[in-house]
Amino acid sequence: MSTSSSSNSQPTLDTTITVALAEASIAAYAAYKNESYTPPTGYACVDQWTGWDAFLVTGTEELFGLVFQSTAQPGTFIFAFRGTDSDMDIYEDVHFETVDFVPSDNQPISPTPRVAGGFYGIYDSLGGSMTASMRGQLFALIQKYSPTTLYVTGHSLGAALSQLFSLDLAVSRPSASMATQNINFASPMVGTADWQTAYQNLIAADASVRCYNYWDYVPALPPSDFGYLPVGAGFRTAFYVQGEWYPHELSRHSIKNLNIVLGNALPENPQVWKGTFQDQVDASLTMQSDVPPTGADVQWADKAREVMAYEQSLRVA
């Protein structure tokens, strides 16, 4: 299940860095698709990494992330993970069966984190002509650039991978000389209660923030009976297609739409925004951003499954 979150208890986010991280996440998608992109303002892309995307007994090596370096402060870096090519592929890509998370230095963590096998497989696997796994490449990049300040980010699947990397860094490279913060977007949940406990024991609440849309179904995945829990502080927005009853999940989950809302909300006090804007998924639609509801997050994944079960019962009848 998701933890409670309300607009009056949310962390205060820095506008410049949060928008830069959203832009870096958007750029990571574009790079994967071989499309042109604009780096975050004040940053240049200096490197990238890949991962093994397995399918049954085969798979492919794919671009999974970009490294950006600050042009004004050369010791400051952004590591941005991409999500799946289609935002909704998250439903198909995730394997909810859990596996043990083992850090890169093989040091034991108590309790042993249990995480989604699908996410961990991408992070840890080696395939094809790869000479290093995603995690191996990431730690090699840390060694190469020796950042003094590191921001880790990603959207959807990329957000989940970013949290695996953040915990791995906290265990395997606990360097006082490197300040690290994870601000991720629209993340599904990554692991169960032991994962949550280990993450919170090793990473301060203000060092890891989940930005998400209250009306987005993906942060409610997987359904509650899998026992998954979120990590880090939650920053809630609330936007949806104006005047439509249909969920339009792609629009609700879009990093581009979320970036627009954050860009308008974060300079405000409190950091909320009521307004409309053109949907970046379907230009014929108008998005409405409102003050986020207070109280516990809705278990959208459970609700969707209830609806499907009801529809199935009608077909059987």
- Tell me phi and psi for residue 45, to 5 degrees: -75, 125
Residue type at 182 in one-letter notation: N
Both structure tokens of 209: 């923030």
- Which pLDDT does position 84 carry in this prediction? 80
Work out the average pLDDT over 205-234: 94
Per the model's pLDDT, the better-predicted residue between 84 and 277 turns out to be 277
- Residue 242 to residue 226: CA distance in whole angstroms: 33
Specify the DSSP element, H or E, that contains 313. Answer: helix 300-316
**Rounded to two decimals, what is the model's pTM?**
0.93
Give pLDDT tens digits for 301-313: 888 888 878 777 8
Mean pLDDT, the chain, integer: 91
Residue 168 has pLDDT above 80, yes or no: yes
Give pLDDT tens digits for 129-150: 999 999 999 999 999 999 999 9
- Which pLDDT does position 88 carry in this prediction? 43
Work out the average pLDDT over 60-77: 96
- Which pLDDT does position 187 carry in this prediction? 96
- Which pLDDT does position 7 carry in this prediction? 41
Work out the average pLDDT over 93-122: 90
Both structure tokens of 21: 């991280």
Angle 233-180-114 (CA atoms, 0-180°, nearest 5)? 60
Give pLDDT tens digits for 249-295: 999 999 999 999 999 999 999 999 999 999 999 999 999 999 999 99
- Which pLDDT does position 85 carry in this prediction? 59
- Which pLDDT does position 91 carry in this prediction? 47
- Which pLDDT does position 101 carry in this prediction? 97
- Which pLDDT does position 316 carry in this prediction? 64
Domains of the chain and CATH, by start? 7-316 (3.40.50.1820)
Name the nearest CA neighbour of 261 among 306, 216, 228, 212: 212
Both structure tokens of 317: 């009848």
Residue 58 has pLDDT above 90, yes or no: no
